Structure 1
Amino acid sequence: MLGLINIFRCQKPVQSPVCGLIRYFHKEIIPVEWKKPSIGWTKLNFDGSCKSLTGKASIGGLVRNHNAEFLLGYAESIGEANSTVAELTALRRGLELARENGWNDLWLEGDAKTLLEIIEKGKKARCMEVERHISDIKSILPDFNKMMVSHIYREGNGAAHKFAQIGHDLDHPTIWRLIPPDELVTQLLQDAQGTIVLRMKEMKDKSY
């Protein structure tokens, strides 16, 4: 019995295979799916990317219609910035492009849940730079007729993430209209087909 107890302690630095197996089964499986907007709406997915070693950041995003057809994509390197600023810059750029193209009923979706809550619920940010970016975004929102905001896990935001990754290698801001880059074709097709991606999330212990 003592030997069994020692196995379940999972002491470091030696990790028992049993420990890894227990952690695996102690995870919640969440199905993640990108969903099309309703007829008359367009959907903007956005993402920011920051490389930890260099501090260089980039942004990306895309707009699709109710048939999941690709309307526009964008990517850009923005120099040194943290992940929060990158996410906000990606959102602001996407909003500017949506406004320019007259997409007035817009569904915003990203994987930065806290930032979306700040924008949707009007919460204040502690950082002055972040608050400035949020103010810029809020000044654009009244230009739209209807607006919807939602969070999606990274697994469902893959297309926007790929655009943000492309941004790292660009020398100037780039916009794609109607025809996406080749490396996005498979991802866009999977989204349009409603492909479900499974996310593994750590389950919290319940107290009884």
Structure 2
Amino acid sequence: MPTDENLRARGCAIVSICNLSMLTDETSVHLFLLCPFAVELWSWIGGKLNCVIDLTTVAALSDCVPVRCSTQVADIFVAAIVHTLHIIWLSRNSLRFSSNVVSIHAAKVRLQAAVSLSGNLSAGQCLLLDAPILDAFAVSPHHRRVMDIITVSWKAPSPPWKKVNTDGSVVNNRAACGGIFRDHLGTFLGAFSCNLGHASVFSSEVQGIIFALEFAALHGWTNLWLECDSTSAIVVFKSPSLVPIMLRNRWHNALRLGVWVISSHIYREGSVCADRLANLGHSITSAVWHSTLPPDLGFDYFRDRCGLPNYRFP
């Protein structure tokens, strides 16, 4: 953004002042977070969203989005943040370049209209509990239809096949992967977790597959059904050129280990155990083989073994 702070950093010699407050020079942090005009606007939109918005940094603004909420409500929260930043910038430009003062009331009216439009255009869907937030912005609810809810169940392989579910995870640019092996009765055979350091999501998914092939060969499981929640990772069996260049040698070696593989995709809701193992990889320093079932997997493992379904909501 061409704030005075950024213009000066690029060599422009200008006298800087925040046009909205006339209290100090204009920096990105002051203009969008600390200026009394911005603070009042954020406070107002926070009241509408029924949350307290963290104004310590611009990056912290997104922390107000609920971790678990409907997709339509998530879209409203994101729209509120983006439109608030945009209206602060428009108000600043209107005053600086046209000498038109935008009142806080006018800014709120424009912000209300922008968030309402975004919420109504959202492709997300909502729950009945979302009514207060939807009403606050005059957004029409997009209710989920029962026919859109997908039942996802883990299925055991037929003998002599062994099944492995793998997953990759990236948190704060740090990657990990994990996988769990089970037989035709759903019996736990073993699992692995691995910290991969810096890697992309796709790379972590592929490395999870490579680890699964290596551990299967190590234990003599030559008939392997590999199941992953990443469709792009499964494609590497048909298109090996998609494997990241740094992993290709290891990938080709893994294919020569004598393990006969069939692969399939499953939604994340049906591969919860593998997802937990991948998250567990962030807390270790290298690859770990679990010969006994990790306690964190107990509930989801027995759900899978008993054939209890999980549900994927649109």
| TM-score clears 0.5 | yes
Matched, 1:106 2:224: yes
The structure showing larger relative contact order (alpha-carbon pairs under 8 Å, at least 6 residues apart) is 1
Q: 1:135 to 1:29 in 2, by over 3 A?
A: farther
CA distance in structure 2 between the partners assigned to 1:130 and 1:27 by the alignment: 39
TM-score w.r.t. the length of structure 2 is 0.54
Judge conservation of contact 2:176–2:197 (CA < 8 Å) in 1: yes
Higher radius of gyration, 1 or 2: 2
CA distance in structure 1 between the partners assigned to 2:191 and 2:271 by the alignment: 13
How many angstroms does 1:122 deviate by?
2.5
Matched AA of 1:162: R
How many angstroms does 1:113 deviate by?
0.5
Judge conservation of contact 2:177–2:195 (CA < 8 Å) in 1: yes
Report SS of the residue matched to 2:155: coil
How many angstroms does 1:170 deviate by?
0.8
Structure that is richer in strand per residue: 1
Judge conservation of contact 1:34–1:194 (CA < 8 Å) in 2: yes
Match of 1:150 among 244, 257, 264: 264
How many angstroms does 1:171 deviate by?
2.5
- Which ranges in structure 2 are unaligned for 5 or more consecutive residues? 1-75, 77-112, 120-133
How many angstroms does 1:78 deviate by?
1.1
How many angstroms does 1:200 deviate by?
1.7
Report SS of the residue matched to 2:151: strand
Q: 1:183 to 1:26 in 2, by over 3 A?
A: closer
Report SS of the residue matched to 1:21: coil
Match of 1:48 among 162, 168, 176: 168
Match of 1:183 among 296, 304, 307: 296
Report SS of the residue matched to 2:180: strand
Match of 2:308 among 171, 181, 195: 195
Task: Give RMSD over aligned pairs.
Answer: 2.3
CA displacement 1:4-33 (0-9 Å, x = unmatched)? xxxxxx964034458563253398211111
Judge conservation of contact 1:47–1:110 (CA < 8 Å) in 2: yes
1:1-208 paired onto structure 2 within 5 Å: 12-14=114-116, 15=119, 16=134, 19=139, 21-25=141-145, 28-51=148-171, 54-119=172-237, 121-122=238-239, 124-125=241-242, 130-133=244-247, 136-144=250-258, 146-177=260-291, 179-201=292-314
* Larger mean Cα displacement after TM superposition, 35-44 or 11-20: 11-20
Report SS of the residue matched to 2:158: coil
TM-score w.r.t. the length of structure 1 is 0.80
Report SS of the residue matched to 2:163: strand
Structure that is richer in helix per residue: 2
- Which ranges in structure 1 are unaligned for 5 or more consecutive residues? 1-9, 202-208
Q: How many residues align?
A: 185
How many angstroms does 1:112 deviate by?
0.6
